[in-house]
Amino acid sequence: MPVASARSLTAKRFEPLASEQPVDLDQAIARLKAKAGAQIAAHWTIPAEPAHFADVPDLQPGLREALAARGISQVYTHQREAFDAVAAGEHVVVLTPTASGKTLCYNLPVVDAVLKTRCKALYLFPTKALAQDQVAELLELNRAGNLGVRAFTFDGDTPSDARKAVRTEADIVVSNPDMLHQAILPHHTKWAQFFENLRYIVIDEVHTYRGVFGAHVANLLRRLQRVLDFTGPRRSSSCARRRLRTRKPTPKP
């Protein structure tokens, strides 16, 4: 088939989708039932619950302005509790449902501390896609408040000539366990400046580290702790996060 014909077929295939108007959730569910009603095993509605808010903590002015620019005048209670605990030097595990604002639970105390003391933070994500999303979130927060926080990814795609800049210039390094194992810890002397000022370690999707994989990551973190002990004592807080899967009610027969 000629290339031109293939392109025209593709355009025709997606034309109806482009012309459709957005629908609300009830309409989308009704359409899905109409098309695949016999294939739907169960359908239930989980009642909404009112949100519980708390005052924004005492942040650096630029960070407070960044939140205001994004329409955030209050934080959720679990975000405030996490901030207070991390600021007090405690280790924190955040266990809340999807889209409940877990990212701010660690970004607020970390970015605030970076602005105050120019300390360092290491974010570990299980996939590069999640790491890229986090850097994009940090850059958006940077732009909203003109913060000047330097956050960079450090993964297999990071050019060799850029890796030195990440080691020496980054306030927040966003990486993954594989890179920590292969490219950071074996060269810890090159990362001495970063490790000497490392204060926070964030481990995302901590529930994925189980079984053999979890055992490997646990030993990897022990190796990291040995390097930190070697570079000198410091207060270092970790903030792990995971999704909480909502328990579904038993559908009626």
How many angstroms separate the most distant Cα atoms in the chain? Answer: 67
Q: Count of CB atoms within 10 A of residue 171's CB?
A: 22
Mean pLDDT in runs of 10 for the chain (253 residues)? 42 43 79 87 87 96 96 96 94 89 94 96 93 92 94 94 95 97 96 94 92 96 93 63 48 45
> How high is the pLDDT of residue 43?
86
Q: Which residues pair with 202 in a beta bridge?
A: 123, 239
Hey, is 5 helix, strand or coil? helix
Provide the pLDDT for residue 46: 83
CB-CB contact of 153 with 135 (8 Å): yes
CATH architecture of 53-243: 3-Layer(aba) Sandwich (3.40)
SS3 at position 97: coil
> Given this model, what pLDDT does residue 238 score?
63
User: Encoding tokens for residue 240?
Assistant: 């792990």
Can you give the pLDDT at residue 98? 82
Amino acid at 192: A
Q: 199: which 2 tokens?
A: 């204060």
Per-residue pLDDT, 155: 94
- In terms of DSSP bridges, do strands 120-124 and 172-175 run parallel, antiparallel, or are they unpaired? parallel
